[in-house]
């Protein structure tokens, strides 16, 4: 067996064993103490409901996933545009950055309640705006950092070669910002899914995973609610994995590794 596959087993096996043991313990506790289904459903029941309702869950996941994806793309785009403006104009940076950091610290997604008032009750727009806002600030702060925190030697060297500001931007600042962008996307991808779910708690159409979870709990269909939670987990996980894969493609070799070591 090659050392590579051995190291893969070494990194995958412990969490896999722990996960299986955890689910088994859950099942045993529910069965052993004879817990009522409205208190805690056993994993076997949740899995059964998941397979029974797979079409409904998939439909709801498409609604939430579309909201998350549109918000993610739009927020990432706007965040990048703004970060270029910030790195170009110092005063704008001094103005916006503290605000962006402060806004990152407060749960701005409650704004969705206000946004719901502004659009039709069945509109998906408020949820998408909400995801856009959350992603926008994450991307803005990180990419702006990547564009400005370049190694001074690099800039000095470019200047000694009589490079223009545009050349320094294209050949130093933008390549330097690429790993920062992918770090931001890796944080934003799960955050966009979470924001899409939470936005559904504030009313509007009952068509996404978040609203299905609440409505099933309200109807005491505990196991079905858990099945939707499982669907939500899988959706968030798939967003994260895609962003992680993209990072590997866009930053070849040990580039990402190197950047992490530097931090």
Provide the binding-site residues for another protein, judged by CB under 8 A: 151, 153-154, 156-163, 167, 171-172, 175-176, 178, 251, 253-255, 258-259
Least separation in angstroms between CB 257 and another protein: 8
Q: Mind giving me the DSSP string for 131-144? A: HHHHHHHHHHHHHH
Cβ neighbourhood burial of 201 (10 Å; 0-12, 13-18, 19+): middle
Question: CB of 166: closest distance to another protein in angstroms?
Answer: 11
> CA torsion, points 99, 101, 104, 106, in degrees to nearest 10?
-70
Q: Which is nearer to another protein, 178 or 194 (CB)?
A: 178
Backbone angles phi, psi at 151, to 5 degrees: -70, 125
Smallest gap from Cβ 127 to another protein, in A, equals 37
* Residue 256 backbone phi and psi in degrees, to 5: -65, -40
Between 143 and 191, name the residue whose CB sits nearer to another protein.
Answer: 143
Minimum CB–partner distance for residue 178 and another protein (Å): 7
Q: Which is nearer to another protein, 195 or 251 (CB)?
A: 251
In the complex with another protein, the residue whose CB is nearer, 19 or 254, is: 254
> Rounded distance, CA 110 to CA 202, Å?
8
């Amino acid at each position: 067996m090659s050392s590579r596959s051995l190291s893969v087993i070494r990194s995958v096996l412990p969490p896999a064993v722990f996960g299986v043991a955890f689910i088994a313990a859950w099942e045993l506790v529910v069965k052993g103490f004879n817990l009522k289904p409205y208190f805690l459903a056993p994993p076997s029941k949740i899995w059964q409901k998941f397979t029974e309702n797979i079409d409904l869950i998939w439909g709801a996941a498409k609604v939430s996933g579309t909201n998350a994806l549109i918000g993610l793309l739009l927020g990432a785009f706007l965040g990048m545009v703004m970060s270029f403006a910030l790195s170009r104009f110092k005063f704008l940076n001094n103005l916006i950055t503290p605000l962006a950091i402060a806004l990152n610290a407060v749960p701005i997604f409650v704004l969705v309640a206000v946004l719901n008032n502004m659009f039709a009750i069945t509109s998906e727009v408020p949820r998408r705006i909400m995801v856009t806002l959350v992603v926008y600030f994450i991307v803005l702060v990180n990419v702006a950092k990547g564009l400005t925190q370049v190694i001074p030697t690099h800039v000095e060297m470019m200047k000694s070669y009589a490079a223009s500001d545009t050349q320094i931007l294209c050949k130093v600042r933008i390549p330097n910002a690429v790993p920062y962008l992918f770090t931001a996307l890796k944080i934003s991808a799960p955050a966009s899914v979470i924001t899409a779910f939470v936005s559904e708690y504030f009313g509007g159409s009952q068509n996404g995973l978040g609203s299905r979870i609440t409505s099933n709990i309200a109807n005491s269909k505990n196991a079905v609610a858990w099945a939707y939670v499982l669907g939500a987990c899988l959706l968030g996980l798939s967003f994260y994995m895609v962003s992680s894969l993209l990072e590997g493609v866009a930053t070849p070799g040990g580039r990402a590794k190197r950047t992490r070591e530097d931090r």
